[in-house]
Amino acid sequence: LAKTTQPISMDSYEGQEVNITCSHNNIATNDYITWYQQFPSQGPRFIIQGYKTKVTNEVASLFIPADRKSSTLSLPRVSLSDTAVYYCLDHNTDKLIFGTGTRLQVFP
């Protein structure tokens, strides 16, 4: 059973910033928060991981509030190629339980 909740789908336009929020209502103290991206006909690709506050890499930023009950993946200036399904997970082991994911559609 998935531990996280996220919107089923989101739409955006090229050049916009997209923020996808995930609920981690059952997160444990030693859980990390990880986001994956999956394109059609490909395996999921690791985007970013964090424990608290803010993490940024070349692809995205991850915001985690102090209570860690939610996380927000921020994609700056999306392009058509960012159209994909985005999964948030919280886990403290290597066993990943995937939820439904958010299907992001980017329009020109």
Partner 1 sequence: SAVISQKPSRDICQRGTSLTIQCQVDSQVTMMFWYRQQPGQSLTLIATANQGSEATYESGFVIDKFPISRPNLTFSTLTVSNMSPEDSSIYLCSVVIRGGETQYFGPGTRLLVL
**Of residues 16 and 100, the one with the C-beta less far from partner 1:** 100
Q: Write down the least CB distance from residue 15 to partner 1, Å.
A: 29
Question: Is there binding between residue 7 and partner 1 (CB under 8 A)?
Answer: no
User: 76's torsion region: left (phi>0), alpha (psi -120 to 50) or beta?
Assistant: beta
- Shortest distance in whole angstroms from residue 45 CB to partner 1: 7
> Quick one: tokens of 29?
């103290």
Residue linked to tokens 């994609």: 75
Nearer to partner 1, 61 or 103 (CB): 103
Q: Scanning residues 37 to 96, which ones bind partner 1 (CB under 8 A)?
A: 41-46, 49, 87, 94-96
Pick the closer one to partner 1 by CB: 63 or 98. Answer: 98
Residues near partner 1, by CB under 8 A? 2, 41-46, 49, 87, 94-101
